[in-house]
Structure 1
């Protein structure tokens, strides 16, 4: 087994799973909130928020990573505050890799959930509100069950993007063994190492299997949820 992939490569796989899962868990509640705000609310700065959310999709990933470094580095406004006040360092740590993955994947989460929310007839929510339900209760009992397939799709897309993020990650947190070296960074290093092509191919194959498995599980869960909601 160790001949197939070395300890360093298995470490990259474990770190990638940790980074992608952390990015997904943090992005999920914030993504649902932002998607709902963009789909249902009208407020000053709404278009600015929409642009900021989708900016990582159109910016080169290296630029996004550089902006993260300027903001969350130890000399940046946010990173400096976290370091001085709490002793927390994000740059060049696995938490920084999770942050980069979350930022790059956030538009996918918001887009998937927002489309699901916009597909829900507002009259259903208004009907529940006229019966005395609060806005939060309407969301939990009416909107949330109907948009669950979109949430699942956004969650899987975020996880998959987190597993494959490269440009912003290497710019923001570098390629540090055991700390920030995820699967894409490990593949990049192996391709530059004499004799590393075979392990790079195996690692790429493993990443394909992980991504395909996540998509398969997502499809299965989405069908089950859609069938349950449709039969309710």
Structure 2
């Protein structure tokens, strides 16, 4: 997990001297940072294929929180679920302190998913080859629409809309079957399979239902796109 550090010191209250019966320590900036990270991690539920970057705001090294003789407490400062931007409260509530202190820290959370991106700019009509795509981890807020996590899913498809280099490839950028393509038409049942050919009358992606003109019967049928250059009709 990649971790960056950035903090915001919201408030630190002055404290009275701690009595001699208590051992007071001044928490280090790294301790405060790790407490903030730990409390965010404890509230996160992330898919196994995702990566997480937790980034507390950088605290001014010239500042030092007061000493504390009890366990320092860390908690998210609101009841909402962990989002991209969060506030964590770090506090010391030693009974002997007349003024318990608190520090509020802004913590950013980035969740990244493995997606197929273009290795070069691709234009309409291009047929995607294996060396034109790669897998990269992309922050979830930059993923709008259906994307892909396997290079084989897009290799051989045709580009419908321009895709910039290093940008995610979305379903809407492609056509698995493009208007005017000759496609294989499958009609299947539990006992047999019929295959013929036809012409796509519209663009389509995986799962789309499009109009196909049967080259033998010249009839137009509705078919479901099941692969590159392949459609299936209902029996």
Q: In terms of Rg, which structure is larger? A: 2
What TM-score, normalized by structure 1, do the two folds share?
Answer: 0.23
Higher strand share: 2
Ranked by relative contact order (alpha carbons within 8 Å, sequence separation 6 or more), the top structure is 1
Higher helix share: 1
